[in-house]
Amino acid sequence: MSAVDLARGDHGDLVLSITGTLVRIGLLSTTSEEFTEVVERAVKAFQQDRGLIVNGIVNQVTQRALEEARWKLGDRVLSFTPGNLMRGDDVATLQARLVEMGFNAGRVDGIFGSLTEGAVKEFQTSVGVKSDGSCGPATVIALMRLIKTVTGGAPSQLRDLAQRSARGPALANKIIVLDPGSDTFNSEMIFDVAQRLEGRLIALGVTVFLTHSVDATPTEGERIALANSTGADLMISLRLDTYKNEKAHGVTGYYYGSDLHGVHSVVGERFATLAQREICSRTDLLNCRTHAKTWDLLRLTMAPTVRIDLGYISNPGDVSRLSDPIFRETIVESLVVAVQRLYLSAENDAKTGTLRLSDLRKAGLRQ
């Protein structure tokens, strides 16, 4: 995969390959070696469909997504290859169909891992196909014949909800990973919020991991690996956004979801919504709503993961608010209460913006 970003005006074999994929998935009518305005519009449409940042630039993330989009179920034999996992839309389609039939293929993320292999083996055994964990023509045919409608919600979503419920409302023994943005413009204020949040959560009995120290700049892959090694219940990534127009402002939440594949993180969406509501009820930050995205941090972290952009560093008003330690403390309380509400049953929940840390202690939710 090329590490060079491609944009309007570029040309060459890589542009030809990209337009070939866009033709294959129906976003372009003809291939081209020129990155024209028409190609740019097609790239933007692709990025919108995939839950990527929509800018019309084919960077490494968009190139990888285009590569995955090339594959349709049946194009190739799918199998588990440790160290070089197969990725693609064909894998996502396979996972979605297995999940629909009640087999635990894990998250529908388009990555053929060990859980997917196990689900394929179980399916193959159930239909009398050779149980080798590889998805070839015979397995694809069996899948096509036996897909059934599942009522009452997707099994993976029901499992997520059951696991959340089984852990109970107490924060004690929960494991939460905090991921403060490590970009230059993110570091100081966001790391302060993360440290304050860490202290509040530890006081309530939570085991907390920070993905890095104030001076460290780990890669996204390293932060994902750390989170996955902890057995976390939840990962919260905190950032500030920036935009060329200083008028952009407000708080935004992101969780894993793909409309294309019809999947989303139930717990991630729930927490993103709770955090958004609590923050906006306690502050005057603009509510920019929550959005499903397929960014690697959200897709590849095994625990439900939410990224919260607490404002725009390019907006003077947001910067002024977040520069105030009292305002940051309000953000922290909002997030702690959102975490608790995530695990409360509906009958024990309280009106948005009314629950306080003192209420959690009175209710005995601190072990």
User: DSSP secondary-structure letter at 350?
Assistant: -
Q: What is the pLDDT of residue 216?
A: 80
Per-domain residue ranges of the chain: 13-69, 71-151, 163-362
Four-way CATH pick for 163-362: 3.40.120.10, 3.40.50.150, 3.40.50.720, 3.40.630.40: 3.40.630.40
* Confidence (pLDDT) at 348: 47
Q: How far apart are CA 310 and CA 313, in angstroms?
A: 9
Burial class (CB in 10 A: 0-12, 13-18, 19+), 17: middle
How many residues comprise the chain?
367
Contact 172, 204 (CB under 8 A): yes
Residue of 201, 262, 199 lying closest to 232 (CA atoms): 201
> What is the rounded distance in angstroms from the CA atom of residue 186 to the CA atom of residue 241?
8
Closest CA to 252 of 217, 282, 278, 288: 288
Nearest of 184, 229, 223, 178 to residue 201 by alpha carbon: 178
pLDDT tens by residue, the chain, 367 residues = 556 799 999 999 999 999 999 999 999 999 999 999 999 999 999 998 888 888 999 999 999 999 999 999 999 999 999 989 999 999 999 998 898 888 888 888 899 999 999 999 999 999 898 999 999 999 999 888 876 444 444 555 555 555 555 555 567 789 999 999 866 666 789 999 999 999 999 998 999 999 988 778 889 999 999 999 999 999 999 999 988 889 999 999 999 988 777 778 889 999 999 999 999 999 999 999 999 998 999 999 999 999 999 999 999 999 999 999 999 999 999 999 999 999 875 444 455 555 555 555 544 444 4
Question: What's the CATH architecture for 13-69?
Answer: Orthogonal Bundle (1.10)
Q: 169: buried, middle or exposed (CB in 10 Å: 19+, 13-18, 0-12)? A: middle
Read off the DSSP letter of residue 235. E
Superfamily of domain 71-151: PGBD-like superfamily/PGBD (1.10.101.10)
Same-fold call for 13-69 versus 71-151: yes
- How far apart CA 96 and CA 285 sit, in angstroms, is 38
